[in-house]
Amino acid sequence: MNRQSIHGNDSSGDSPAGRDGRRRGSGPTGKPSAGRGSWFGLRPSTLLALVGIAALLVPLSALSQPADSTSEGGKLAQLRKQFGLSQANLGDVDPTSETIRLATLGLKNVAVTLLWDRANHYKKVEDWTNLSAALEQMTKLQPNFYSVWDFQAHNLSYNISVEFDDYHDRYAWVMKGIEFLRQGIGYNQREPRLQGRMGWFIGQKIGRADEKVQYRRLFKADDDFHERDRPGRTLPERDNWLVGNEKYHAGQQLADSGAPLKTTALIFHSEPMMTMINYARALEEDGSFGSAARAAWEKAGKEMRDFAVREIPTTWDVPIRLGLREEELSRASRINEELEKLLPGQFLGMEERLREALAPEMKEAVAVPPMDRTDAQQRAAYAAGEMTRVSWPMVAREAPADVRDKARDLSRQWLEANETAEIISRYREIVNFDFWRASCESEVTEPALRAREATWSAAKEFENARLQPAKKFYEDAFVAWREVLDGSTILRNDTITNEDINDYILRYRKVLEQLDEPFPKPFVLQDVVDRTLPMAPPPMPTGMSSDPNTPPVNTPRPTGETRELEVPPDARPPGP
């Protein structure tokens, strides 16, 4: 059978029309024919493609199946949930939110700006219903914008709650702000800052407000909140500081898993320690002492030790651990000794040469006592100090050739250890690490526990006008405080600690005044009294007369001694 018998009589031969007709499979009448191997007029290759598409729909459907209340969804939904790439669960994908964002036709930011203005207006006119609606619309448009959740939650818990008189209403609005943050966490499950803010609100707003006694009681009894937050939480675990600590740890776990922490890491990671310290102090304020207070301070101490060994990024791009300052100073001391053995006397020799090279006016300025220098001499002395400053890297550059490489390597290590210790010291000061560590170490001791309990009991007895028991408790407390201060140099020199104890002493004076008894001398805490006495008024400038009828000027109380960086003597370069 020839080719024409299959495709029909092609009178057009090899003309273009004939080739076109054969390409389309048309017969003599111009109508398409089914042809061999076709089905519904489709070619085999087309049929195979359709069958392949249909077959691929099955695995694609299984892979992309969204999660719901009964299923974890397909593989893609599980991966999205695991790595936090999007709202993988159907409960987090809000159709209303998506519809509103599409309806703005690219003007979402304009709409959000208008809603922020509207929310501020509703707050001013105290239209709480429309304010809540505006906030809801705002979160629909920007569910993944951190500032919306943070600012408006603060607005609800801090600014709006104070507009009400009844503390029950205030507490309700505080909890609205906290629940607002919970809603934001649902949309932003990889945002550690929202967990931290929720911990801050639960801890600070409930535990520090003027109504903290009522708030803490209501929070413990808030079954609805605790069932939503963590079902099965026991009554002792419902303390607001403990719940806040849980939230901070949740934020830390997110940060440790790789979620970006877009805030100051030092402050963020210090909060678990501070919440446990506040928890221990809250127990003592409530009158819980003994084993309960000791256990709370032990937990605070554990948080402090965890914080001390946690790696903290710095602005110098050098990660640090706050607890390693002493180790770095010890390392610098060992290297200093090695360098002195390697280059004996060269450090002091370079200092002497630089001092000899100073200009005469600089030498004269250095010889004048600092308090007697004029402004020009102060500037000259400062410049002289900078010009005669010597470091081991400077000495190593002039070392003999046979030991120069080793000296340079050791001097580099010495400089690195000292710089790291200095960075750690600066970061410690930001969070007052030395004081809080000393507090955690001291508060678990028997004298500190006795001092806190006796001070609390004295205050209660005084409130109830039982003066003799109050006097006895205060005196017992002062003996215990003496032991506490003698056991900690940091607490003994701390201004705030001395002022707190001096407040107890002032109350003790009031008790003695009502009993018509003199203040005891010698007093067991006389050094505390001396450190907190007001400073004497400054002397009258020369040539000015003082009016005897003018009361003395009230000068500010001292803020404490200026403490320099503590460096062991053997860690410093040798001096004259």
Residues 109 and 115: their CA atoms lie apart, in Å, by 10
Where is average pLDDT lowest: 79-83, 275-279, 384-388? 79-83
- Indicate whether 14 pLDDT > 60: no
Tokens 């090279």 belong to 357
Q: Which tens digits make up the pLDDT trace of 142-190? A: 788 888 899 889 989 998 899 899 999 999 999 999 999 999 998 888 8
For residue 42, the cross-strand partners are 39
pLDDT of residue 484: 97
Q: How buried is 360 (Cβ within 10 angstroms: 0-12 exposed, 13-18 middle, 19+ buried)? A: exposed
Comparing CA positions, the residue from 118, 172, 160, 175 lying closest to residue 141 is 118
Helix residue ranges, H only, 260-345: 265-285, 291-309, 325-342
Residue-wise pLDDT tens digits, 264-304: 999 999 999 999 999 999 999 999 999 999 999 999 999 99
| Residue 523 to residue 503: CA distance in whole angstroms | 15
* Distance separating alpha carbons of residues 394 and 347, to the nearest angstrom: 9
Give the start-to-end residue ranges of the domains of the chain.
Answer: 95-309, 322-435, 445-531
pLDDT band of residue 396 (cuts 50, 70, 90) is very high
Check whether 548 has a pLDDT greater than 50: no
- DSSP lists the bridge partners of residue 320 as 312
Q: Which residue type does 355 have?
A: R
Tell me the per-residue pLDDT of 96-151, one tens digit each, with 9 for 90 and over: 565 666 667 667 788 888 888 888 888 888 888 888 888 888 888 878 888 889 98
CA distances from 41 to 31, 74, 82, 430 (A): 12, 37, 48, 80
The yes-or-no verdict on residue 25 having pLDDT over 50 is: no
So what's the pLDDT on residue 42? 74
pLDDT of residue 17: 45
Q: Please list, in sequence order, all residues whose beta carbon lies within 8 angstroms of the beta carbon of residue 206, skipping any fewer than 6 positions away.
A: 174, 212, 215, 216, 219, 240
How many Cα atoms within 13 Å fall on the side-chain side of residue 100? 18
Q: How far is CA 340 from CA 199, 343, 407, 574, in A?
A: 52, 5, 10, 8
Using the predicted structure, report yes or no on whether residue 570 has a pLDDT greater than 50: no
Model confidence at 27: pLDDT above 80: no
Q: Write the Ramachandran bin of 374: left for phi over 0, alpha for psi from -120 to 50, otherwise beta.
A: beta
Q: Whose structure tokens read 């607490």? A: 491
For residue 568, pLDDT beyond 50? no
Q: DSSP code of 2?
A: -
Q: Give the pLDDT score at 13.
A: 45
d(CA 376, CA 347): 29
DSSP designation for 312? B
Alpha helices in 310-445 (DSSP H): 325-342, 346-356, 360-367, 375-387, 392-397, 404-431, 433-443
* pLDDT tens digits, one per residue of 28-63: 444 444 455 566 677 888 888 888 888 888 888 777
pLDDT tens, position by position, 484-517: 999 999 999 999 999 999 999 999 999 999 999 9
CA distance 52 to 264: 54
